[in-house]
Structures are given as structure tokens and as C-alpha cells.
Amino acid sequence: MSGAAGKKRVAILGGSGFTGAELYRLLGNHPYLEVNYVSSESKAGYPVDKYYIGSVHKKKASSLKFGRIAELDGHYDAIFSCLPTGELPKIINEVAEHAEYIFNVSGDYRITDEAILHQHYPETLKHPFEGGWHYYIPEFSEVNRSVKVVNLPGCMAVATLYTLYPLVAHDLIEGRAVTDAKTGSSGGGKSTTEHHAERANNFRAFKLHGHRHRPEVENALNVHLERTVDLQFSVFSLDLPRGILASTYTTLKEGVTAVEVKKAFYSTYSSKPFLHYFNSGSGSPMIKTVVGTNYAEVGAYVEGRNCVSLAAIDNLIKGAAGQAIQAANLYFDFPEEAGLRAAEGAWP
């Protein structure tokens, strides 16, 4: 059954968090998708538009109220899951009965290696699911309509992949790649225990080793490009509400030139509607001009054999909600930019 004016029916699970709020806001302007259900266990029964601060300027509030996941009924063309990592596997078989596709922004179905799942996503192993899942990067992956769960990359992982993909795809680097990813506070979600006093007017290391996005990046490059990359991945906390800047340091192979690097990035990203590649001398990626948008800014800068590649994204949009909508557009054969072109970054 279609929604109003033939739009596809959409449900959002975990709608009271930051990503759920962004999904609801963005889908409110989508020409082909309509939100018919939003879940929140803690806000069940409360009017959705009264809860979302971003809805305060709406001329006409929706009658939609938060419901519990157990109350999910009927069929939805797309269910967007923003549940905390580890929660979707517990209910996946019940939810899948109501969905054509589940677009998941948490980490549960990003990895197939059982050892990595056991370490970082143990709930995925505890709850078998026969519907199949697919790790999907809109710019690099092929649509696979035989699976039920379309799992989107982590926000820092996808930013890192944007810095590395052209270099690895064109076989331009050797040795270890080192990435430091700087992230805004909303990346920790509403349940973060980090106090404002720790983060404000500060810049500090969050996790220097062992972050679960490292094996995700390594696995993604292996799956998509059949290349093995030794990655050092460290995360730092920014005094910003949102935004990510990933910086990756690599060594070019002997004889590789700056022109070859430039060509690799340009050929990889020139046809991608949400990726803006900075040519040398034309500026560099920054957080301020991508916040509030589904755009990623990417640049690569060479001195001798040393290459520094950068990517900036909004963690809640290009790293989560917007990326999930972009994926849904591609899965349903809608224009890739549908519902995502309205916002532009601000400067200065």
C-alpha cells in the first residue's frame, strides 16, 4: 500500500535520537517517501512534531505520534533503523516482516567476519537472520535487491573511505595508512556520558587504538577493491555539535606523481553528485561548509611521496540520515538527490 499521493511508506525506528530527528526532518521534504510511523519506547504516545525542536516552525503540525516497536503493523517500503548498536538484531526477524528494505545506520550489519562481529557487534551473532544483509556505500557499492537489510557505513568510516578509496583503487600507495578523524559531539548520540565541560573549548584524543571503524574501513576496501590496507585509525573529539574532518596520511609508490593523484580523485568523484573534490590550489575541505548538508568535501595534497587526503562531512546527514536516504533513492530508482538538495553549507 502506498502513502499519500502514491508516495512510498516509511517507518523510522529509534526516532527520538539525533539521527532519527534528521531523518524525519529530511523526509518531510522528500517527493517520493512519506513517514507514516516513528518509534520511541520512551516517548510513546507523544506527538512527534511537539517533540522535535526542528518542527517548531512548521505551519501545520503532523498528527503523527510516537509508537512502540511492538506496535509496528502493516507493510512499509522502507524502514529506517536508528536504534542503538546491538538493538536491531534482537528484533530483526519481527521487523523484517513489515519491510521491503531495512536501511540501518547502526553498526550491526556492517561486517561479515565472525571474529570482528564477536569483538564489536556480538548481538549480530546471537540472533540469526535469514533475510541477508549488505554493506552499502552509495558512491561505491552495487545495489543488491536480494537482501533485506541495507547497512550504511559509520560516519567516521565513510569519511575515511572517501580519503582512501581513489588511492587504493588506482594502486598509488604503499605501506601503512594513518588516519585521524575529528568528530563533533553529536556523534556520541544523546546517551553519551561525556560532559559538556570536558569538551567545550577543548580538543582531545577520544580513542587512539581499537575503534570499531578501523576494521570496517579495512573490510570495505577489501570487499570493494580486493585490496588489503594496513590502517592506523585514531579518533579525536571536537568542540563542535556536528561535523567530521578525516585526515589520512599515506606514502605514494615510487614514481607516482601529484598529477596521477589528482587524476585518481577527479575520476573517482567527478560524477558523484554529493562529493566535491578540491583540485590543488582551489581550497580544502572544511566542516563549516558541509554542516547541514549531504555533501562531502574531499581533497588530496602531495609533497614528494607524502600524500595527505582530507574529507569533511556532517556526521548526522552524510554520515547517517542523509546517506540512508541517498541509499533508499538508489534502491527505489529515484533520483539520487531526491529530498537532499535543499540545504547548502554556510560561509563565513
What residues are annotated to the active site?
Answer: 155
Q: What is the DSSP letter of 31?
A: S
Alpha-carbon distance of 151 to 153, in angstroms, equals: 7
**Are 32 and 326 contacting, i.e. CB atoms less than 8 angstroms apart?**
no
Alpha-carbon distance of 42 to 190, in angstroms, equals: 13
> H or E stretch including 80?
strand 76-81
What percent of the chain is helix, strand and coil (3-state, nearest 5)?
30, 25, 45
3-state secondary structure of 302: strand
> Which amino acid would we find at residue 45?
G
Closest by CA to 226, choosing from 108, 157, 140, 323, is: 140
**Are 51 and 43 contacting, i.e. CB atoms less than 8 angstroms apart?**
yes
3-state secondary structure of 317: coil
Output the nine-digit C-alpha cell for 139.
558512491
